[in-house]
A and B are shown apart, each in its own frame.
Chain A
Amino acid sequence: MPTLIIDNQTVTVPEGTNVLEAAKRLGIEIPHFCYHEALGSVGACRLCAVEFREGPVKGIQMSCMTPAKDGMVVDTGSAEVLAYRAQVIEWLMTNHPHDCPVCDEGGECQLQDMTVAGGHGIRRYTGPKRTYQNQNLGPFIVHEMNRCIQCYRCVRTYQDYCGGTDFGVLGSRQRLYFGRFSDGPLESPFAGNLVDVCPTGVLTDKTYRFKSRVWDLQEAPSICPHCSLGCAVTPGARYRQLQRRRARLNNQTNGHFICDRGRFGYGYANHPDRPRYPLVGHRRVTWQEALAAMQSKLQELGELFGSGSIGLLTSSRATLETQFLTKRWAAALGSDQLCFEAHPRRDFASRVAASQQLDRSASLEDVRNCDLAVLIGADPLSEAPMLALALRQAARRGARIVIVDPRPVVLPVAFERHAVSVDKFSQLLRGLGRPQQGDFSSSMEELGGSLANALLAAQRPLLIGGTDLLGPQGTQALQHAAKACSQPEKPCRTMFMLTGPNSFGGALLSANGPGFDSLMEGMEQGRIKALLCFEADPLADYPDRKRSRAALARLDMLAVFDCAATATVQESDFFFPTTTVEESVGTLINNEGRMQTFEQVFSAGTPLAESASGSHPPRFFTRDIPGSEPQSAWGILSALMGRSADLDALRREIEKNDHRFAGLSQLKANGEGRRIAIPSQHPESLPLNIASSIGSDQLQLLVTETLYGSELLSSLSPCLQELIPAPFVTVHPQDATRFKLEEGKKVLLGTPMGDLTLTLRIEGDMVPGVAIVPRLRGTVLEPLVPGTESLPCRIEKV
């Protein structure tokens, strides 16, 4: 722990800390470009020079490249240092176009800041500047190479951190080119991070191009709602339009980066089809009318059929506050027909995941630091993209990554693959739960055993499970295995990928409550007459759409509270528009049990658009903001129960009511969140596995999440549309031969949900005997939902 003096202040830092970081601890910001906390020091820009007066090195040196040592006396602002830094800026500015007035980076440009800080004001160089041709890098990133100051952050992010291979540095000397060999969309699903790391306007957000100056944006700390990881983001809005999302630092979860689904999935909030008005029977009414009509209908049904006739459903998209108040309202209504997830198998898998010992639960930071990760039934890039990036960081530090999965899983890093079909998982997990034993009854059990031994031998072992493929039983077995592979000082941590951003909260609150199957039966049998859906879409999420459609059709009343035009919204008798994450405040609990709050970025309203007629003055005036009706679901629930919408009081109540949520009222949105300490009780009974028998002329149908097009909200984002693939089915080459199928040709897939015509893909890195289809909303694949038991299907040439 060296102790040194920087600008007359003493600081002690861990061995290996460089002087730039040591100064940062004192709150002294040494100007820099190429240094980045996540990317490290490379000494390229030469801006972070400081003067060493005493100690092992003397004179002007680069602070990022100099490890802090005892006895150093550092001056970060001597006259010589300042003059030198001004010179570095002058060098960098010789070719910079100085086009700040038309540059999107303006206002958050490190080059602007450093130019001002560096004291370089007048350009002495009057010669010609080098210019470049820019490339079309796809839908997310604008390329303006003339602005480049060659800090190499982009290649270090894209290639080193994110594992991309199609973007790099070309050329040499003053003719460096940061780009691709030829125009084309960036292939990495983490390409958007280039926007955050570029210190000037070379790589900017195409979806945000020319929309706002950054100082005009409304911004607040928020959480990404597009998977269960709960990455920290900073959305920016202006003119009632959500205009962009950036990564926000949370060292425990996403670190400095986010995935492109998270960054560019924001468009759902501005979607033109977003329902913004309360509707009764598809007729626009006022809030008062709608609430009164629904209340009276509820009262009528309650009186006629009893309180058990009212079912309530919320989802993993709903905040903890909404879930809690839904539970409260169910109690107030006297109904026990309350469920937190419309997909029963996912529901119970989440409940099992939430019942584990939470000190063993792994954060993304634990993933980045692990030395062995075994993934069972998990496809990180599709289900939780930032997990893939965390695994890459672990592998870069030498960790071994093992994936056991039936699918042709890809990761942005090399890994060890075992193609294993889902029906073998139970054998594998049995072996995994029995380390240091030899009498295995199958090769799969033996593979499990050998992985278990490796986990026992590892220093920071990690088991990662995808709950869609594992199901509740598999999730439970994985937890047992983790326990068996743990030693007191070396716990084998676990991470489960769950359905949505607040699956964990729903699991904690549901305890031993019913699953949606039992609500379905109630509706089918006519016991349940009314269903109230809070940010839940049972039509799309219940695996058997025919059944859910029929059941919902039997209801006397379907009330939906949501922010997106879901399938269920179309069927609703009463509709209440709710706010998005960015338009409200709330709490989400991520897949590891980390409780995180988010703040309101902006108020809901139809985005301002320039009037088309061109007439002046505008003829139409109103005091009301168009489209501003959406209210937070928890606010609506408060109103329904006659309570005031007091967030602080509500959070205190949640805390008081359930000690597992302790600390909620103190949580700050810009912090690292707080891990739930006490697990929920293990669900008493789990739905049974019903394996369908697969005929010899049939394949197993496996529906899986995919990066773009599966998750509801991001699939509504216009800029992600072009990345959503055309519906396809993937089979093993053996099966392609068996059924005489050709890559790229149309095939007919006969499923229990109907016959579908799809394009064929052939992948060698998967198990034979399986037909894999992605979940793609709004396509012919819409009725197929992941996370179910495997079903039989047929495949043939069209």
Chain B
Amino acid sequence: MRTCEPLLFKNRRIGETVFLEGYRKTGGYQGLEKALRDMTPAAVREEVKASGLRGRGGAGFSTGLKWSFFPSDDPGEKYLVCNGDEMEPGTFKDRQLLLADPHHLLEGVLIACYALGIGTAYIFLRDAYRQCAVNLEHAMHEAREAGLLGDNILGSGFSCEVHVHRSAGRYICGEETALLNSLEGLRPTPRSKPPFPAVKGLFGKPTALNNIETLANVPHIITGGAAWYKSLALTEKGSGTKLYGLAGHLETPCCVELPLGMPLGELVRDFGGGVWQQRSFKACLPGGASTPYLTAEHLDVALDYETLEQVGTRLGTGGVVVFDDRTCMVAATLNLLRFFARESCGWCTPCRDGLPLVCWLLERIESGQGTREDMTMLQEQLRYINGRSFCALALGAMGPVDGLLRHFAEEVEDHIRLGRCPLQT
């Protein structure tokens, strides 16, 4: 069984939360100290860029590259917003981190603010994560008492304020520009880009947006160095570790930190305890609900950004949801699409009206009323919704439909041919 020395989960004991004392015992805040004492902000940015860290929130954009577009050295108000609106179905990694070790995020936020010349950070937290908010508030209180937060941190002259904001509880609030609107008290509809948040974001000021897990990796990059961090991954192009979520039809659903690039089959077998009830693996969502399915053919595929793109899907959030062989993939896809249709903000037509139409088509097929025409229409929906919506919600929503039509076309056809769901007996 392949494992690794955990970075983010190093203090994690199920049912316990580690605060400042425990966090410091295992080297906590050494990254911040090192950055403030020994490194210029530019050097911190350089180190993060060299580490090859990619955004852990779903899109997988290079963190270093994102930071390089940020006007770090410009004077004036700028913000860091930490996206903790973890609402992707099958994803619960950020929650596990905050339940176990909230200072991890706080240190990452402070280093990022130092690197980007930012004095105010907002942690935008999913509404349901009440305990996480409590943990963070407590951690912030401790940090403030210890001189790690607020004015003149560790005597370095660097000052930073952090605010925790709990979301209104909509999936769209995790879309970075909708998040900014939500944070400003507006309707959470996405903004058009350009201007990008790095130019004009929160309250019209330059804003850096990063996921919780992404920021929590930053202290380790600073203490361990970019080269070491990069070497942690199993794949050549990968970098660092990843918090994988394991859910669905598994014996032991869990969240586990492993090197980036773990093969899917190994993950399911060694950490998920294999498919439940001795059934076989039919498919999985590799990284949350908005990523196209993988099938039993893909069990050897490494779970990394590039390797998954090669097989037509995405690493997303790393939340693997497994379906056993008795699952009807039409029904599973319908279930996912109902979620996305419900969570559309209603701004653009393809998402607001297209997704319910997809649901209707899937309902017809699943209930045995589907026709060949419905199948054609479903293919058209995939073609016209993808890439034509205002933000990425609809694109992600169509991921499962894409997977369904690519890998399970025969199963869909069977529904139409038989006039019923073939998996229902």
**Which residues from 68 to 101 on chain A have a C-beta closer than 8 Å to any C-beta of chain B?**
83-84, 87-88, 90-92, 94-95
Is B348 touching A172 in the complex (CB atoms < 8 A)?
Answer: no
Provide the bound-state CA to CA distance between A45 and B347, in Å.
8
Is B345 touching A91 in the complex (CB atoms < 8 A)?
Answer: no
> Is A259's CB within 8 Å of the partner chain B?
no
8 Å CB contact of A95 from B353, B373, B377: B353
Is A171 touching B346 in the complex (CB atoms < 8 A)?
Answer: yes
Closest to B384 in A: A87
Interface digits, A134-173 against B, CB 8 Å rule (1 contact, 0 not)? 0000000000000000101000000000000000010111
Return chain B residues, CB-CB under 8 Å to A91.
349-350, 353-354, 357
- Interface stretch among B41-49, B63-71, B102-110, B336-344? B336-344
Return chain A residues, CB-CB under 8 Å to B61.
none
Partner-A contacts on B (CB < 8 A):
170, 172, 187, 192, 341-350, 352-354, 356-357, 360, 373, 377, 380, 384, 387-390
Those 4 A-B pairs whose CB atoms lie nearest each other, nearest first: A91-B353, A173-B344, A176-B346, A87-B384
Provide the bound-state CA to CA distance between A49 and B350, in Å.
12
Provide the bound-state CA to CA distance between A491 and B353, in Å.
52
Return chain B residues, CB-CB under 8 Å to A84.
384, 388
| Distance (whole angstroms) from the CB of B392 to the closest CB of chain A | 14
Provide the bound-state CA to CA distance between A83 and B379, in Å.
13
Provide the bound-state CA to CA distance between A49 and B348, in Å.
13
> Is A245's CB within 8 Å of the partner chain B?
no
8 Å CB contact of B353 from A65, A124, A127, A174: A174
Is A124 touching B345 in the complex (CB atoms < 8 A)?
Answer: no
Closest to B347 in A: A44
| Distance (whole angstroms) from the CB of A469 to the closest CB of chain B | 38
Interface digits, A24-52 against B, CB 8 Å rule (1 contact, 0 not)? 00000000000000000011111101000
Closest to B380 in A: A87
Closest to A89 in B: B349
Interface digits, A92-133 against B, CB 8 Å rule (1 contact, 0 not)? 101100000000000000000000000000001101000000
Ordered by A's residue number, 17 sampled pairs between the chains whose C-beta atoms are within 8 Å are A44-B347, A46-B348, A46-B388, A47-B349, A60-B387, A91-B350, A91-B354, A92-B349, A92-B353, A94-B357, A95-B353, A150-B346, A150-B352, A152-B347, A171-B346, A173-B343, A174-B353
Closest to B363 in A: A127
| Distance (whole angstroms) from the CB of B200 to the closest CB of chain A | 16
8 Å CB contact of A43 from B353, B356, B357, B390: B390
Return chain B residues, CB-CB under 8 Å to A87.
380, 384
Provide the bound-state CA to CA distance between A654 and B170, in Å.
68
| Distance (whole angstroms) from the CB of B380 to the closest CB of chain A | 7
Is B349 touching A150 in the complex (CB atoms < 8 A)?
Answer: yes
Is A174 touching B341 in the complex (CB atoms < 8 A)?
Answer: yes
Given contacts A94-B353, A94-B356, A174-B341, contact A49 B388 (CB under 8 A): yes
Given contacts A88-B350, A173-B345, A176-B352, contact A46 B390 (CB under 8 A): yes
8 Å CB contact of A172 from B346, B349, B388: B346
Return chain A residues, CB-CB under 8 Å to B350.
46, 88, 91
8 Å CB contact of B390 from A44, A59, A83, A174: A44
Provide the bound-state CA to CA distance between A124 and B172, in Å.
29
Return chain B residues, CB-CB under 8 Å to A127.
360
Provide the bound-state CA to CA distance between A503 and B5, in Å.
86
| Distance (whole angstroms) from the CB of B364 to the closest CB of chain A | 8
Closest to A151 in B: B349
Provide the bound-state CA to CA distance between A324 and B99, in Å.
85
Excluding A43-B390, A124-B373, 10 further A-B contacts by CB distance (< 8 Å) are A45-B349, A46-B390, A47-B349, A84-B384, A88-B350, A91-B357, A95-B353, A125-B360, A174-B341, A176-B352
Closest to A128 in B: B360
Closest to B190 in A: A43
